[in-house]
C-alpha cells in the first residue's frame, strides 16, 4: 500500500534542511496549530481546494513550527487575503520575532514574503498568521533559500532604491528550495495538480497559478536571476529546456516544465507534435545561455554536451527545418506555421491572429543567437566555428536591413510576413519592439524613428494589457541608449505592481514573477550598464542614468566569485571597488561621447574611443585587484 500524502510529507520533513508540512492546507490541520476562531475551509482557496482562515477580532492565530536541520537563510512566502486591515504575518526564531508584516485590507489574494531569515542548525522557526480587524485567509506557504548574492543600491533618487529593494525581495521569493515536495501540473483547470514531485533548482517564471517555468519568461528573467547569484537555477532550467529540444520535437524546446525540471507542464504539452512552441524561444535560450556563462563563469555552458548540442541544433538544424514558406534567397530565416500556438507560431505576440510565417521578434532573436553561438565557440577555442557564426550574424543583419524590413520607417517598417507572402507593417507589439531590442536594426535615423513609434504605440490605446509585455520596453530603450524613456517605462511597470493582473487567477501585476526579475536586470545591466565577463575576469560599465538622477551606487554586485561596488556620478565619473575575489579584474569604464582625456585615480590619460552599435564611447581599461578601488572620469 503506498504511503499517504501526509505520511510522505512527514518523512520528507526529517530529511530536508527545512520543510513546511501541508503548505496548502490540503491535508486539513496536519502540521499546523489552530487557535479559537480559526480553521480550515473550502470556500475561497488560493490554490487547491482548501485554505486556513482566521475570524475577525484580536488574538486568533494559526501557526506551524519547523526545525532547521542545517544552517541557512530563508524567505517565507504565503498568499493572503483579508477582509480588513491590521492582520499580521510573522516569523519567530526560537520564540523571538525576526520578521513581520502588518497586512492591509485586500479581499483578493496577494503574496507576502518575510525575507532573509537566518537559522542555525536546530533553530525552531515559527510561521505565524494573526487576526486583524477583518477575516484573514492564508494559503500556499513557500520556503525559498535566500539568494547567494544580496545586492543593494544607493542613489540621489529614492525611487530607484525603493524599486530595487522591492524587486530583490519579491524575485527571491519565487526561488524553490531544492528537495521540496510540491504539486505538479497545477493550472486553472486543475488547481490541485495531478500529483507531486521533488522540486529541483528552479524559480517561478510564468503565471503564479501554474506550477512551472516557461522558456519565454525564464529567458527574460535570467539577467535578474544572475544579479541574485542564482546560477544553479539558471543552469538547471536552461539544461532542462536544452534536453527537450529533440529531433522528435523538430528541435523546439518544450514551452514549460514543472519545477522538478523533468516533466513537461501538461497544460502546454499534449504530445510530441502538439505542444506550445514559438520561434523566438530557442534562439533566446541560446543567447541567454551565453549571458549566464558570462555572469557565472561556469564552463558547463561550454562543456555540457546537452547544452552544446542544443546551441548547435538551434542555430543549425532548427533553422533548416523551419525555413521554406518565404524565399529569403541565400539567407535562412526560421518560420512558424501560421497556425496557433500548438502548431508553432512565428511570434511571441499570441493575440494578433495574423497567420505569420516570419516575424520581427523571431528574426531579431535568431540574429542574437548567431552572435551568442560565435561568442560561445570562441570561448571554447573553436575560432573557425566562431568566424562562421560571426559571418552568419552579419549576413542576416544585412539582409534584414536591406531587404526583409522594407524601405519604410516608423509605422511603415516591415515587422512580419504572412504565410502567403504579404508584408505586414504597423504595430505588432513583440514583433515590433524586439527588433531594436535585439539590435538587428542598423543605427541611424530609421532606428530612432522606429523607437519613437514604439514608445508612442505602447503609450496609446493599443498598448499591451498584460504587464509582462511592458517589461520588455526598458530593455528596448536601454539597448539603444534612450535612458530617459527606459526609466519612464521602469517606473510605469513598478507603479502598476499593485494593480490586479488581467488574468485574475494570477493575482496582482507585482505577483507576476517577470516584473521583479526584470526590474533587477534593468537596474544593473540597464541603468548601471554592467556587462559581466566572469570567464575572462572582466567587467564593462557604462552609466545610463536618466535626467534627474545625479548618482547611483550598487553594492554587492556578484560576478563569478568576485564581489564589487560600483558608483556612477552622472555620465562622466565612475568608481569600482573590487570588494572580494580570487583574481584581479579588467575594468573597461565607458563614457558616452568623445572626450579629450580620461582621468584614472587622478592621473590624466590620452583618451581612447570606440563605436559600438552606432554610439561613440570614450573609455579606459584598468586592472582592479581585490581590495582596490579605482575611479575614472572624463571631462
Sign, CA dihedral 416-420-423-424, equals negative
Q: In what order do the strands lie in the sheet with 531-533?
A: 531-533, 538-542, 585-592, 615-624, 608-612
pLDDT in tens, 58-82: 999 999 999 999 999 999 999 999 9
Q: What distance in Å separates the CA atoms of residue 443 and residue 479, rounded to the nearest whole number?
A: 11
pLDDT in tens, 453-476: 999 999 999 999 999 999 999 999
Predicted TM-score (pTM) of this structure: 0.96
Which candidate, 92, 117, 114, places its Cα nearest to that of 103? 114
Residue 362, pLDDT above cutoff 70: yes
C-alpha distance across the termini of the chain, in Å: 77
CB atoms within 10 A of CB 594: 11
pLDDT in tens, 21-39: 999 999 999 999 999 999 9
What pLDDT band is residue 504 in, cutting at 50, 70 and 90? confident
Which candidate, 419, 211, 165, 386, places its Cα nearest to that of 290? 386
Side-chain half-sphere exposure of 472, counting CA atoms within 13 A: 24
pLDDT value of position 8: 37
Residue 442, pLDDT above cutoff 70: yes
pLDDT, averaged across the chain? 96
Which candidate, 69, 25, 73, 65, places its Cα nearest to that of 47? 25
Give, in order, the Cα–Cα distances in Å from 87 to each of 27, 58, 103, 496: 24, 9, 5, 24
pLDDT value of position 71: 94
Sign, CA dihedral 560-562-565-567, equals negative
pLDDT in tens, 87-143: 999 999 999 999 999 999 999 999 999 999 999 999 999 999 999 999 999 999 999
CB 609 within 8 A of CB 594: yes
Q: What distance in Å separates the CA atoms of residue 526 and residue 167, rounded to the nearest whole number?
A: 15
418: which residues sit within 8 A by CB, 6+ positions away?
Answer: 338, 354, 355, 356, 357, 424
Residue-by-residue DSSP string for 203-237: B-BS-TTSSEEEHHHHHHHHHHHHHTT-HHHHHHH
Coil, helix or strand for 124? Answer: strand
What pLDDT band is residue 17 in, cutting at 50, 70 and 90? confident
List, as own/partner pairs, every contact residues 302-310 make where C-beta atoms lie below 8 angstroms and the sequence separation is at least 24, other chains included.
Answer: 302/376, 302/379, 302/380, 304/239, 306/239, 306/242, 306/243, 307/238, 307/239, 307/242, 309/242, 310/241, 310/242, 310/243, 310/245, 310/253, 310/282, 310/285, 310/286
Residue-by-residue DSSP string for 16-56: SSS--SSTTSTTTTTT-EE-TTEEEESSS-SSTT-EEEE-S
The C-alpha angle 415, 420, 422, rounded to 5 degrees, equals: 35
Side-chain half-sphere exposure of 512, counting CA atoms within 13 A: 30
pLDDT value of position 1: 35
pLDDT value of position 612: 96
Q: What distance in Å separates the CA atoms of residue 290 and residue 590, rounded to the nearest whole number?
A: 22
What pLDDT band is residue 16 in, cutting at 50, 70 and 90? low
CB 532 within 8 A of CB 557: no
- Among the residues of 245-299, which ranges form H helices? 280-296
Residue 185, pLDDT above cutoff 80: yes
Q: What distance in Å separates the CA atoms of residue 404 and residue 151, rounded to the nearest whole number?
A: 42
Residue 7, pLDDT above cutoff 80: no
| Structural domains of the chain, with CATH | 5-146 (2.60.120.260), 205-513 (1.50.10.10), 532-634 (2.60.40)
Phi-psi region of 594 (alpha: psi -120 to 50; beta: other; left: phi over 0): beta
What pLDDT band is residue 387 in, cutting at 50, 70 and 90? very high
With cell 584581479, the residue in question is 584
**What integer is the mean pLDDT of 316-324?**
97
What pLDDT band is residue 2 in, cutting at 50, 70 and 90? very low
The single-letter DSSP state of residue 522 is I
Residue-by-residue DSSP string for 391-458: HHHHHHHHHIIIIIT-S--GGGS--EEETT--EE-S--THHHHHHHHTT-SPSSHHHHHHHHHHHHHH
pLDDT value of position 13: 40
The C-alpha angle 311, 317, 319, rounded to 5 degrees, equals: 90
| Helix H or strand E encompassing 369 | helix 360-380
pLDDT in tens, 516-541: 999 999 999 999 999 999 999 999 99
Residue 416, pLDDT above cutoff 50: yes
| Helix H or strand E encompassing 483 | helix 483-495
The strand pair at 585-592 and 538-542 is best described as parallel
**What integer is the mean pLDDT of 288-294?**
98
| Helix H or strand E encompassing 542 | strand 538-542
Chain centroid offset of residue 391 CA = 30
What pLDDT band is residue 545 in, cutting at 50, 70 and 90? very high
Amino acid at each position: 500500500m503506498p504511503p499517504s500524502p501526509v505520511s510522505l510529507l512527514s518523512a520528507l520533513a526529517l530529511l530536508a534542511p527545512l520543510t513546511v508540512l501541508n503548505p496548502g492546507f490540503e491535508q486539513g490541520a496536519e502540521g499546523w496549530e489552530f487557535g479559537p476562531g480559526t480553521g480550515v475551509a473550502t470556500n475561497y482557496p488560493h490554490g487547491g481546494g482548501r485554505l486556513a482562515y482566521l475570524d475577525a477580532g484580536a488574538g486568533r492565530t494559526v501557526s506551524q513550527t519547523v526545525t532547521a536541520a542545517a544552517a541557512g537563510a530563508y524567505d517565507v512566502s504565503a498568499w493572503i487575503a483579508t477582509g480588513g486591515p491590521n492582520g499580521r504575518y510573522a516569523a519567530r526564531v526560537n520564540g523571538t520575532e525576526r520578521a513581520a508584516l502588518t497586512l492591509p485590507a485586500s479581499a483578493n489574494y496577494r503574496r507576502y514574503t518575510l525575507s532573509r531569515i537566518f537559522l542555525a542548525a536546530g533553530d525552531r522557526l515559527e510561521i505565524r498568521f494573526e487576526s486583524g480587524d477583518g477575516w484573514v485567509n492564508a494559503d500556499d506557504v513557500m520556503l525559498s533559500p535566500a539568494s547567494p548574492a544580496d545586492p543593494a543600491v544607493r542613489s540621489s533618487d529614492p525611487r530607484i532604491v525603493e524599486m530595487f529593494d522591492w524587486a530583490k525581495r519579491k524575485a527571491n521569493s519565487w526561488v524553490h528550495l531544492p528537495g521540496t515536495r510540491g504539486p505538479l501540473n497545477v493550472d486553472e483547470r486543475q488547481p490541485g495538480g495531478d500529483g507531486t514531485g521533488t522540486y529541483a533548482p528552479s524559480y517561478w517564471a510564468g503565471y503564479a497559478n501554474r506550477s512551472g517555468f516557461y522558456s519565454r519568461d525564464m529567458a527574460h528573467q535570467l539577467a535578474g536571476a544572475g544579479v541574485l547569484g542564482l546560477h544553479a537555477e539558471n543552469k538547471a532550467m536552461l539544461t532542462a529546456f536544452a534536453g527537450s529540444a529533440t529531433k522528435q520535437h523538430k528541435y523546439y524546446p518544450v514551452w514549460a516544465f514543472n519545477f522538478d525540471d523533468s516533466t513537461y507542464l501538461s497544460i502546454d504539452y499534449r504530445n510530441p507534435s502538439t505542444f506550445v512552441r514559438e520561434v523566438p524561444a530557442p534562439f533566446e535560450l541560446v543567447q541567454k545561455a551565453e549571458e549566464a556563462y558570462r555572469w557565472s563563469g561556469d564552463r558547463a555552458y561550454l562543456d555540457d554536451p546537452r547544452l552544446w548540442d542544443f546551441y548547435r541544433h538551434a542555430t543549425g538544424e532548427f533553422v533548416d527545418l523551419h525555413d521554406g514558406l518565404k524565399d529569403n534567397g541565400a539567407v535562412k530565416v526560421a518560420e512558424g506555421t501560421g497556425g496557433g500556438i500548438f502548431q508553432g507560431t512565428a511570434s511571441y505576440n499570441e493575440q494578433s491572429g495574423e497567420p505569420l510565417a516570419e516575424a520581427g521578434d523571431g528574426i531579431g532573436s535568431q540574429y542574437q543567437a548567431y552572435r551568442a553561438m560565435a561568442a560561445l565557440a570562441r570561448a571554447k577555442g573553436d575560432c573557425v566555428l566562431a568566424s562562421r557564426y560571426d559571418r552568419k550574424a552579419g549576413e542576416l543583419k544585412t539582409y534584414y536591413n536591406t531587404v526583409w524590413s522594407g524601405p519604410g520607417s516608423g509605422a511603415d517598417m516591415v515587422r512580419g510576413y504572412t504565410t502567403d507572402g504579404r508584408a505586414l507593417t504597423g504595430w505588432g507589439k513583440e514583433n515590433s519592439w524586439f527588433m531594436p531590442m535585439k539590435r538587428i536594426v542598423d543605427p541611424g535615423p530609421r532606428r530612432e524613428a522606429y523607437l519613437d513609434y514604439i514608445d508612442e504605440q505602447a503609450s496609446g490605446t493599443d498598448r499591451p494589457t498584460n504587464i509582462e509585455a511592458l517589461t520588455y520596453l526598458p530593455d528596448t530603450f536601454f539597448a539603444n541608449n534612450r535612458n530617459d524613456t527606459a526609466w519612464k517605462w521602469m517606473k510605469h511597470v513598478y507603479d502598476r505592481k499593485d494593480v490586479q493582473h488581467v488574468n485574475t487567477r494570477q493575482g496582482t501585476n507585482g505577483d507576476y514573477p517577470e516584473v521583479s526579475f526584470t526590474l533587477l536586470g534593468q537596474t544593473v545591466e540597464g541603468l548601471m550598464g554592467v556587462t559581466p565577463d566572469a570567464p575572462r575576469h572582466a567587467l564593462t560599465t557604462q552609466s545610463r542614468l536618466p535626467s534627474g538622477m545625479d548618482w547611483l551606487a550598487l553594492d554587492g554586485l556578484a560576478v563569478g566569485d568576485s564581489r564589487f561596488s560600483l558608483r556612477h556620478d552622472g555620465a562622466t565619473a565612475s568608481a569600482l571597488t573590487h570588494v572580494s575575489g580570487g583574481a584581479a579584474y579588467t575594468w573597461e569604464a565607458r563614457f558616452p561621447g568623445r572626450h579629450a582625456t580620461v582621468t584614472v585615480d587622478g592621473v590624466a590619460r590620452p583618451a581612447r574611443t570606440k563605436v559600438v552599435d552606432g554610439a561613440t564611447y570614450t573609455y579606459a581599461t584598468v586592472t582592479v585587484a581585490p581590495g582596490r578601488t579605482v575611479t575614472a572620469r572624463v571631462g
